[in-house]
């Protein structure tokens, strides 16, 4: 079993994206910046619900906010997502490289060099 763990910030960001409404918010913000009232309409949700999920995304560094008068405009922090993708890829490749890929004699893998009758995946043929 591998014991390496992802960076805490990576896990925080993944957890933030793991909620369906927050993921939908990110997809909307990928198109353009939006104010809370626009997100409420697009998501068909109340202000407190949308603001709650926006705050989680903001704390994870996935979205940024700019106050303009009475409105808060949210934008996607693209560099954060690029970095997150890079961290995931690096972690997966590190784990993959750490594995020993070996073929065991008692595995159920098909081996073309063996007789098909000796392979447990194929039933014995009767004459």
The neighbour count for residue 2, using CB atoms within 10 Å, is 8
pLDDT score recorded for residue 8: 83
pLDDT score recorded for residue 10: 81
The 10s digit of each residue's pLDDT in 12-69 is: 888 998 999 999 999 999 999 999 999 999 999 899 999 999 999 999 999 999 999 9
Query: How many helices (H) and strands (E) are present in the chain, helices listed first?
Result: 5, 3
Cα–Cα distances in Å, from 84 out to 65, 78, 105, 120? 20, 10, 40, 44
For the chain, which residues make up each domain, given as ranges?
A: 8-80
What CATH class does 8-80 carry?
A: mainly alpha
d(CA 95, CA 5): 10
In whole numbers, what is the pLDDT of the chain averaged over residues? 79
Q: Are 80 and 13 in contact (CB under 8 A)?
A: yes
Give the ranges where 1-127 is alpha helix by DSSP (H). 8-17, 20-29, 36-43, 47-59, 78-98
């Amino acid at each position: 079993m591998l014991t390496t763990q992802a960076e805490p910030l990576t896990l925080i960001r993944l957890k933030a994206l793991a909620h369906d409404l927050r993921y939908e918010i990110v997809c909307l913000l990928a198109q353009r910046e939006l104010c809370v009232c626009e997100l409420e309409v697009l998501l068909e949700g109340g202000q407190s619900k949308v603001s709650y999920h926006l705050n989680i995304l903001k704390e994870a560094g996935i979205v940024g906010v700019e106050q303009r008068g009475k409105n808060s405009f949210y934008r996607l922090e693209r560099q954060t997502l690029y970095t997150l993708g890079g961290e995931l890829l690096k972690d997966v490749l590190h784990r993959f490289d750490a594995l020993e890929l070996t073929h065991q004699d008692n595995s159920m893998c098909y081996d073309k060099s063996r007789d098909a009758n000796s392979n447990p995946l194929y039933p014995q043929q009767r004459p």
